[in-house]
């Protein structure tokens, strides 16, 4: 149901009521259209989805699992078309228990995975590129478009930048350390002003394991990234490159930001090592006043850091050749927040400050491979799990989604992470020099900052911070992804609210300036067990795409007995991660 709106806000939709249900819901006056689901055939020779008899060959031609980041690239290229375009989608991970019948739930399901099922899972990772069209007001995908593409955990990629070819990136299969198979755990992403897409490798540690995680020359480095002797995924039993004891360097080839051209299905994706190796949530850009491009990126783990990469050179509009390798040269920085409302971006440059041979950094490559340890030495501020970091295109202010950190103790709080046992998370607002003018200096090494909101339920959870006119439905928990509309309003997607608050994950919107600042309102709610990802507007803002990830990911949920069968609700069939399009019933602009 919907509630009447109170308080000053530029948003006009009537907000939803919180719930936790098998079905999803959107604010009155809007319509949810199902666009594409896990297993839908997208290459010309792809078979229909049969979840009872899935094969790696079929999966590599079908839409992958657990859709996270999504982006819309208009067709024709360079236009602002809003009824035809390429949808680019990350497939972050797989829920083994919900993909295959008869495996049971959780880790026990992963322990039972066969070699064939592990190959299906690798084919369900990566990305999809698929052409979409809106005809007669309805969105659908084009099944055999010449642009459609699957990228998987096996797709050949190039490694570039300062760490390419470093001995720690070399393997038997790739003695030069410049070629790698696949991309893993692609959570959020971003795009570039020159028309390519970026996909971020996040929890890559889950796939690798072996004795070398606890003993041997790289054990400390592996520990810093959470690589365990017994990995979460059982692929290493079937594939030597996921077994550290047979392929000790393979994990160093993951944890990067990957760039590719979505308009060229033959393009070889490139891992851009200059942006550093950590659990990248995403990598979103802002153009600084002097034309250099800045990429913001969170390292999503408790007590990890917020980073930005500044290109060495300005980008050149209309000259693809000049921009092609712009991401190979520049400076990675990490954020340090001060209690007086100022902050510094500390450069991770080999030879500067503590980043020297004496501290185990022989080169810039080594600073980038162990970016976390370099950031520790620089005195970066440990955060409450940095997820999306995005610049508001209207105001130039930058928003950092800090999803939660239940492990922070009272003696570990700092000004930018002020709550102990912060299970609901908060959003930090960074104000670069020149924000609010036409010349924002995103490349600057200093900025101001404040807290935009502190999540949780007011009156129940300590330390919440919102607009004072917040309704009973506008509070949120666990901010993760965000997007901005052309009026500069923020749309916040959540991941984890069923666990922390007993309500569905959702999408909330708020003004960022003016009398309605931080007055969040509930717009969309996911089905049981799902998080909401990838909010993305078409250029005309008449469509909002959402990625609904891991429906039915609940304790004990299995293929055979899932907590929801969204979106098909077909008896005997599992839930399916899917992309939806939200439009207004009268066809007008959303918001
Ligand atoms: Fe995959 Fe940071 O969420
Ligand atoms: Ca995320
Ligand atoms: Ca998640
Ligand atoms: Ca998350």
Residues with CB under 5 A from ligand 2 (ion): 187, 387, 480
Contacts for 574 with CB less than 8 Å, ≥ 6 apart:
51, 98, 99, 552, 559, 562, 565
Tokens 């006009």 belong to which residue? 12
Residues contacting 460, CB < 8 A, separation 6+: none
- Can you tell me which atom of ligand 1 is nearest the CA of 403? 2
Q: Which ligand is nearest to the CA of 202?
A: 1
Residue pLDDT, tens place only, 127-143: 999 999 999 999 999 99
Of 99, 52, 38, 113, the C-alpha closest to 562 is 99
Ligand 1 centroid, distance to 281 Cα (angstroms) = 5
In ligand 1, the atom with minimum distance to the C-alpha of 279 is 2
Q: Is the CB of 300 under 6 A from ligand 1?
A: yes
How far away, in angstroms, is 495 Cα from ligand 3 center? 6
Q: Which residues contact 530 (CB under 8 A, 6 or more apart)?
A: 24, 504, 505, 548, 549, 550, 551, 552, 553, 564, 566, 577
On the question of pLDDT at 212 being above 70, the answer is yes
How far is ligand 2, taken at its centre, from the CA of residue 479, in Å? 9
CA 186 / ligand 1 centre spacing (Å): 9
pLDDT tens figures, 38-81 = 999 999 999 999 999 999 999 999 999 999 999 999 999 999 99
Using the mean position of ligand 4's atoms as its centre, give its distance from the Cα of residue 137 in Å. 32
Please give the pLDDT value at position 1: 40
Residue 352 has pLDDT above 60, yes or no: yes
Entry pTM: 0.98
Q: Which regions of 378-496 does DSSP assign to beta strands (E)? A: 386-391, 398-402, 426-431, 446-454, 479-484, 490-494
Beta bridge partners of 493: 481, 507
Query: Mean pLDDT score of the chain, rounded to an integer?
Result: 97
The 10 Å CB-count burial string (b at 16+, else e) for 9-26 is bbbebbbbebebebebbb
Atom of ligand 1 nearest to the CA of 495: 3
Whole-angstrom CA distances from 282 to 270, 298, 343, 453, 535 are 16, 7, 21, 21, 13
Ligand lying closest to the C-alpha of residue 533? 2
Cis? peptide before 567, omega within 30° of 0:
yes
pLDDT at 336 over 80: yes
> Relative to the CA of 92, which ligand 1 atom is closest?
1
Predicted local distance difference test score (pLDDT) of residue 420: 98
Give per-residue pLDDT as tens, 502-538: 999 999 999 999 999 999 999 999 999 999 999 999 9
Residue 490 has pLDDT above 90, yes or no: yes
CA of 92 to the centre of ligand 1 (A): 9
Average pLDDT estimate for 78-107: 95
Name the β-bridge partners of 157. Answer: 180
Atom number of ligand 1 nearest to Cα 203: 1
Cα dihedral across residues 441, 442, 447, 452: positive or negative: positive
Of all atoms in ligand 1, which is nearest to the CA of residue 281? 2
Query: In angstroms, what is the span from residue 137 Cα to ligand 3's centroid?
Result: 31
**Ligand 1 neighbourhood includes 281 CB (under 6 angstroms):** yes
pLDDT higher than threshold 50 for residue 2: no
Q: What is the pLDDT of residues 424-446, one digit of tens each?
A: 999 999 999 999 998 999 999 99
CB of 187 closer than 6 angstroms to any ligand 1 atom: yes
Ligand 1 site, residue 202, Cβ cutoff 6 A: yes
**pLDDT tens string 384-395:** 999 999 999 999
- Is 299 touching ligand 1 by the criterion CB < 6 Å? no
Ligand found nearest the CA of 188: 2
User: Whose alpha carbon is nearest atom 1 of ligand 1?
Assistant: 187
Closest atom, ligand 1, to C-alpha of 385 = 2
What does the pLDDT average to over 186-193?
98
Band of pLDDT at residue 222, cut at 50, 70 and 90 = very high
Ligand nearest to the CA of 300: 1
Q: Tell me how far apart the alpha carbons of residues 386 and 401 are, in angstroms, rounded to a whole number.
A: 6
pLDDT band at 108 (very low <50, low <70, confident <90, very high): confident
- ipTM of predicted complex: 0.95
Among all bound ligands, the one having the nearest atom to the CA of 403 is 4
Please work out whether the CB of residue 387 comes within 6 Å of at least one atom of ligand 1. yes
CA–centroid distance, 356 to ligand 1, in Å, is: 32
The atom number, within ligand 1, closest to the CA of 68 reads 1
CA of 531 to the centre of ligand 3 (A): 7
Q: Ligand 4 centre from 120 Cα, in Å?
A: 24
Taking every pair of Cα atoms in the chain, the longest distance, rounded to a whole number of angstroms, is 66
Please tell me the number of the ligand nearest to residue 186's CA: 1
Closest ligand relative to 69 C-alpha: 2
Answer yes or no: is pLDDT of 101 > 70: yes
pLDDT band at 5 (very low <50, low <70, confident <90, very high): low
Measure 480 CA to ligand 2 centroid, in angstroms: 5
Q: Indicate the pLDDT class of residue 7, thresholds 50, 70 and 90.
A: confident
Alpha helix (H) residue ranges in 185-229: 219-224
For residue 494, which ligand has an atom nearest its CA? 4
Provide the percentage of residues in the chain whose pLDDT is more than 90: 96
* Cis peptide preceding 76, ω within 30 of 0: yes
Q: In 3D, which of 174, 372, 169, 313 has the Cα closest to residue 254?
A: 169
CA dist list (Å): 529 to 149, 552, 558, 564: 28, 4, 12, 8
Where helices occur in 27-126 by DSSP H, the ranges are 56-59, 96-99, 106-111, 115-124
Query: Residues with beta carbon < 5 A to ion ligand 3?
Result: 495
Residue 524 burial (C-beta neighbours within 10 Å; 0-12, 13-18, 19+): buried
State how far the Cα of 131 lies from the Cα of 143, in Å rounded to an integer.
Answer: 8
Atom of ligand 1 nearest to the CA of 93: 1
Which ligand 1 atom is the nearest neighbour of the CA of 187?
A: 1
In the chain, pLDDT over 70 holds for what percent of residues? Answer: 99
**Is the minimum distance from the CB of 92 to ligand 1 under 6 angstroms?**
yes
d(CA 163, CA 178): 9
Query: What is the pLDDT, as a whole number, of residue 4?
Result: 52
Centroid of chain to Cα 442? 21
Which atom of ligand 1 sits closest to the CA of residue 300?
2
**pLDDT at position 111:** 87
What is the whole-number distance in angstroms between the Cα of residue 125 and the centre of ligand 1? 15
Q: Which candidate, 75, 49, 197, places its Cα nearest to that of 128?
A: 197
How far is ligand 1, taken at its centre, from the CA of residue 202, in Å?
Answer: 7
Ligand 1 centre to CA of 386 (Å) is 9
478 lines ligand 1 (CB under 6 A): no
């Amino acid at each position: 149901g919907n509630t009447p709106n109170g308080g000053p806000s530029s948003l006009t939709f009537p907000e939803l009521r919180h719930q936790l249900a098998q079905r999803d819901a959107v604010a009155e006056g809007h319509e949810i259209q199902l666009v594409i689901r896990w297993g839908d055939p997208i290459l010309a020779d792809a078979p229909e989805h049969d979840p009872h008899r899935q094969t790696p060959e079929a999966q590599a031609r079908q839409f992958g699992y657990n859709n996270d980041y999504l982006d819309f690239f208009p067709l024709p290229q360079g236009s602002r078309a809003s009824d035809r375009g390429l949808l680019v989608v990350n497939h972050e991970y797989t829920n083994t228990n919900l993909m295959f019948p008869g495996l049971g739930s959780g880790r026990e399901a992963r322990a039972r995975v066969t070699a064939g099922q592990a190959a299906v899972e690798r084919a369900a990772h990566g990305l999809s590129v698929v052409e979409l069209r809106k005809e007669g007001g309805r969105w659908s995908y084009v099944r055999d478009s010449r642009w459609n593409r699957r990228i998987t955990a096996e797709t050949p990629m190039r490694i570039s930048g300062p760490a390419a070819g470093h001995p720690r990136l070399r393997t038997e299969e790739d003695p030069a350390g410049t070629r790698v198979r696949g991309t893993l755990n692609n959570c959020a992403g971003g795009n570039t002003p020159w028309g390519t897409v970026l996909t971020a490798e996040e929890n890559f540690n889950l796939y690798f394991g072996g004795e070398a995680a606890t003993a041997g020359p790289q054990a400390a480095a592996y520990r810093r990234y959470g690589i365990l002797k017994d990995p979460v995924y059982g692929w290493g039993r079937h594939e030597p490159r996921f077994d550290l004891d047979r392929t000790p360097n393979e994990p160093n080839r993951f944890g990067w930001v990957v760039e590719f051209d979505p308009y060229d299905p033959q393009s070889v994706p490139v891992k851009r090592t200059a942006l550093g190796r950590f659990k990248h949530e995403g990598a979103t850009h802002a153009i600084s006043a002097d034309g250099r491009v800045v990429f913001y990126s969170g390292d999503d783990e408790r007590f990890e850091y917020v980073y930005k990469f500044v290109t060495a050179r300005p980008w050149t509009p209309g000259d693809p050749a000049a921009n092609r390798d712009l991401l190979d040269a520049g400076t990675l920085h990490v954020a340090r927040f001060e209690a007086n409302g100022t902050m510094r971006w500390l450069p991770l440059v080999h030879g500067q400050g503590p980043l020297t041979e004496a501290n185990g950094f022989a080169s810039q490559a080594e600073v980038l491979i162990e970016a976390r340890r370099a950031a520790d030495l620089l005195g970066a501020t440990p955060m409450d799990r940095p997820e999306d970091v995005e610049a508001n295109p209207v105001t130039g202010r930058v928003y950092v989604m800090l999803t939660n950190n239940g492990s922070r103790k009272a003696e570990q709080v700092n000004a930018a992470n002020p709550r102990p046992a912060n299970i609901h998370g908060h959003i930090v607002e960074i104000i670069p020099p020149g924000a609010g003018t036409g010349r924002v200096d995103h490349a600057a090494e200093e900025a101001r900052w404040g807290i935009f909101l502190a999540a949780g339920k007011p009156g129940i959870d300590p330390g919440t911070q919102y607009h004072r006119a917040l309704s009973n439905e506008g509070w949120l928990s666990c901010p993760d992804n965000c997007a901005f509309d052309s009026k500069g309003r923020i749309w916040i997607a959540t991941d984890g609210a069923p666990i922390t608050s007993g309500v569905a994950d959702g999408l909330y919107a708020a003004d960022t300036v003016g009398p309605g600042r931080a007055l969040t309102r509930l717009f969309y709610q996911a089905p049981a067990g799902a998080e909401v990802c990838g909010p993305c507007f078409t250029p005309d803002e008449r469509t909002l795409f959402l990625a609904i990830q891991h429906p039915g990911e609940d304790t004990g949920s299995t293929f055979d007995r899932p907590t929801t069968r969204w979106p098909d609700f077909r008896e005997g069939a599992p839930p399916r991660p899917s992309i939806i399009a939200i439009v207004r019933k009268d066809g007008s602009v959303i918001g």
